[in-house]
């Protein structure tokens, strides 16, 4: 029996809708679906809950307006489609929200808005201000300029990062599938819906398939990754079908629909959430068995003596991945020294840093407080 979903007291909700949820297979907007979505969000807003909408569909909408039969394959083609589609998409959202007496505001984000700490905090403050003014933020990737994000091509991760950014309590991922299944229900008639996931382990991750509809690009892999980010941030995630009647209202009321991913009991603090999932990884540090054990099991910082090598060029303050002798990731953290400096002091004792470099700003290459393990 699944644990009861006690969402009644939740104050802040992030809802993500995929391209298949807002557009027909032709690429034309599904106005009935969008109106239903907006009505539910407006109703939650009127009840006093704070709602943020992360929407896909800009490129798909642009494809429809341009009369194309499929998404462009080139980056400039996708950027052009996004430029056309984003304005149309936002106009429709604003029109429907205003009919229900709710003010909405467009927010376009890129990976850099999360990876740069100052921009991260600016985005957080801006979204909090919008919520204080009673505005429903309508958020999308800035596909017209964000080349890296277009290559990723999905908003599942973005919605989880937004949920973490604003300290939301519930993330709702709406798609064209009812939840997480034991197999692909479109191919296996014996596939069973999994009503709840307590922990996202290797077995759960193995259930993920490929991309979904031809107009969208996100598959189950990105949804599970989003749920994992949310879980580490102390956020509930519910994956459900956008076409079910009053699905958002029912989820918010705690009804047992879709698949719920439960948050971890010990969520990461805000700074470590940023290190783990938002900051840009700039390189890799390789450590020996002793350092790997000290980091993973003894709660130690990373000292130069345990470093055997590194990959990439990075500066002090950048985020790096730390791997053990088997090549597996141990964690990631903010480095106190550049790659050039680490190359000189790797394998050395802490007392020798000043002699090798001519100065010593820190004993640790990565301090425990700036290190996140077991991702």
Find out whether 299 is annotated in a ligand binding site: no
Find out whether 279 is annotated in a ligand binding site: no
**Bridge partners, 366 (sequence order):** 302
> What gap in Å lies between CA 14 and CA 9, rounded to an integer?
15
**CA 272, 277, 280: angle at the middle one, nearest 5?**
100
Find out whether 78 is annotated in a ligand binding site: no
Find out whether 331 is annotated in a ligand binding site: no
Find out whether 155 is annotated in a ligand binding site: yes
Find out whether 167 is annotated in a ligand binding site: no
Q: List C-alpha distances in Å: 22 to 26, 31, 176.
A: 11, 7, 10
The region, left, alpha or beta by phi > 0 then psi within -120 to 50, assigned to residue 11 is alpha
Number of Cβ within 10 Å of residue 209's Cβ equals: 14
Find out whether 219 is annotated in a ligand binding site: yes
CB 18 within 8 A of CB 218: yes
Find out whether 228 is annotated in a ligand binding site: no
Find out whether 176 is annotated in a ligand binding site: yes
Find out whether 16 is annotated in a ligand binding site: yes
> What gap in Å lies between CA 38 and CA 294, rounded to an integer?
51
Q: List C-alpha distances in Å: 255 to 61, 66, 89, 234.
A: 32, 40, 30, 20
Find out whether 19 is annotated in a ligand binding site: no
Number of Cβ within 10 Å of residue 349's Cβ equals: 12
Q: How many CA atoms does the CB half-sphere of 194 hold within 13 Å?
A: 20
Binding-site entries: 16, 56, 143, 155, 175-176, 217-223
Binding-site entries for ATP: 16, 175-176, 217-223
Binding-site entries for substrate: 56, 143, 155
């Amino acid at each position: 029996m699944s644990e009861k979903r006690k969402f009644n007291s939740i104050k802040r909700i992030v809802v993500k809708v995929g391209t298949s949820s807002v557009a027909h297979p032709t690429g034309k907007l599904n106005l009935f679906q969008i109106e239903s979505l907006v009505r539910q969000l407006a109703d939650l807003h009127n009840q006093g809950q704070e709602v943020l909408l992360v929407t896909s569909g800009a490129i798909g909408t642009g494809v429809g307006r341009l009369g194309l039969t499929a998404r462009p394959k080139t980056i400039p083609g996708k950027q052009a489609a996004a430029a056309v589609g984003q304005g149309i998409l936002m106009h429709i959202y604003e029109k429907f929200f205003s009919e229900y007496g709710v003010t909405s505001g467009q927010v376009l984000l890129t990976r850099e808005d999360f990876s740069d700490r100052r921009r991260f905090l600016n985005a957080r403050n801006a979204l909090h201000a919008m919520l204080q003014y009673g505005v429903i933020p309508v958020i999308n990737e800035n596909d017209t300029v964000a080349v890296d994000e277009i290559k990723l091509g999905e908003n599942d991760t973005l919605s989880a990062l937004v949920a973490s950014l604003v300290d939301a309590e519930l993330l709702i991922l709406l798609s064209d599938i009812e939840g997480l299944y034991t197999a692909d229900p479109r191919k296996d008639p014996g596939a069973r819906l999994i009503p709840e996931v307590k922990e996202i382990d290797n077995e759960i991750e193995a259930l993920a398939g490929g991309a979904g509809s031809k107009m969208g690009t996100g598959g189950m892999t990105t949804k599970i990754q989003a749920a994992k980010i949310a879980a580490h941030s102390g956020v509930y995630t519910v994956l459900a079908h956008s076409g079910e009647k009053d699905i958002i209202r029912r989820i918010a009321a705690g009804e047992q629909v879709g698949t719920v991913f439960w948050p971890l009991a010990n969520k990461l603090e805000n700074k470590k959430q940023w290190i783990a999932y938002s900051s840009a990884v700039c390189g890799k540090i390789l450590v020996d068995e002793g350092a790997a054990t000290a980091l993973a099991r003894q709660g130690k910082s990373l000292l130069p003596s345990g470093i055997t090598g590194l990959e990439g060029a990075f500066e002090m303050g950048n985020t790096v991945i730390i791997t053990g002798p088997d090549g597996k990731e141990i964690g990631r953290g903010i480095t106190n020294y550049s790659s050039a400096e680490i190359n000189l002091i790797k394998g050395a004792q802490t007392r020798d840093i000043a002699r090798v470099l001519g100065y010593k700003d820190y004993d640790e290459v990565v301090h425990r407080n700036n290190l996140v393990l077991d991702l």
